[in-house]
């Protein structure tokens, strides 16, 4: 289901696109979400460490001032991982956007991603 807020802002299943120095999101795709972390009761899959981390992340997100251009703080998902970004929701993409569907090299270049740290070995 695709949900939208008044004014065409997407909520729920949205997809990001990067073009012309713009970061936009339109309904569909599921690669972009408003940066909202939900709280949950402690459980076998959401233990105390995750509950505490969630609280810290929520505090960090709440401390970020609103964007002067009215964009929404969003989680932008790629096949390589997730970044925080200021995104215009429901405005439509500019010409020839790079999206989640593009290859990793094109996405990394469009989003200015830095190479990830190598995974740490589990001991």
Quote the pLDDT of residue 93. 85
> Is pLDDT at 61 greater than 80 in this prediction?
yes
Quote the pLDDT of residue 7. 43
pLDDT digits over 64-116, tens only? Answer: 999 999 999 999 999 999 999 999 987 778 889 999 999 999 999 999 999 77
Quote the pLDDT of residue 60. 97
Collect contacts of 59-65 with beta carbons under 8 A, ≥24 apart: 61/35, 61/36, 61/37
Q: What is the pTM of this model?
A: 0.81
Burial class (CB in 10 A: 0-12, 13-18, 19+), 97: buried
pLDDT digits over 31-52, tens only? Answer: 999 999 999 999 999 999 999 9
Residue ranges covered by each domain of the chain: 2-36+71-111
Quote the pLDDT of residue 122. 62
Quote the pLDDT of residue 13. 73
Q: In which element (H, E) is residue 55 found?
A: helix 48-62
Supply 80's token pair.
Answer: 């390589």
């Amino acid at each position: 289901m695709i949900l939208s807020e008044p004014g065409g802002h997407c909520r729920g299943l949205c997809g990001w696109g990067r073009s012309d120095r713009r970061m936009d999101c339109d309904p569909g795709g599921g690669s972009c979400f408003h940066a909202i972390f939900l709280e949950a009761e402690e459980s076998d899959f959401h233990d105390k460490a995750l509950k505490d981390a969630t609280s810290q992340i929520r505090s960090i997100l709440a401390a970020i001032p609103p964007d002067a251009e009215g964009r929404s703080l969003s989680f932008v998902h790629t096949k390589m991982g997730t970044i925080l970004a200021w995104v215009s929701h429901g405005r439509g993409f500019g010409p020839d956007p790079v999206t989640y569907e593009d290859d990793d090299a094109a996405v990394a270049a469009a989003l200015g991603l830095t190479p990830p740290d190598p995974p740490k070995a589990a001991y």
